[in-house]
Amino acid sequence: MACLNDYDYDILLSHQTYKASEEFILSNYWETYYVEPGYTVLGLRILGDEYVPIAVEDNTNNLIIPYTKPCMGTFVVRIKNVPEEVERIRKSYEKTITLKQWRKHADDKIK
C-alpha cells in the first residue's frame, strides 16, 4: 500500500473540515475533476462522501488533493511532478466547473 511519504509533497492547508478543503481547491484551481470516494491517486485512497475534487496545478504536473486522516482532519496536499497520474486523471474524467454539471454527467453515465 502506498504512503504519502513516498512522494514529494507540500501541505497547502491543514487540519480542516472536508468542506473547507473542497472550497480551497475549487477557489484556487480551475482544472478540477470530481472523482468518486475511494478513488486511488498514486495508490493513496481518497476519502469523501459523494465526490472528491482533485485539481491539476496550472502549468505543472502537480496534483492537488484532499487527504483525510481520521484522527487529524483533512489536509490539502500538493503532490509534485506526477505526470503519468495527471494524464490518467485527465483521460478518465472531464473537467468540472460546477457540482451540478458533475451530477448530471454522473447521472447520464448511469443511464
Residues 6+ apart with CB under 8 A from 24: 12, 13, 16, 76
96 pLDDT above the threshold of 70: no
pLDDT given for residue 10 in this prediction? 95
Residue bearing the bigger pLDDT, 66 or 92: 66
Measured CA to CA, the distance from residue 64 to residue 84 in angstroms comes to 14
Mean pLDDT of 72-84: 93
Binning pLDDT at 50, 70 and 90, where does residue 30 land? confident
Task: Tell whether the model's pLDDT for residue 65 goes beyond 50.
Answer: yes
pLDDT at 57: 92
* Residue 98 pLDDT > 60: no
Residue 1 has pLDDT above 80, yes or no: no
- Alpha-carbon distance of 92 to 75, in angstroms, equals 24
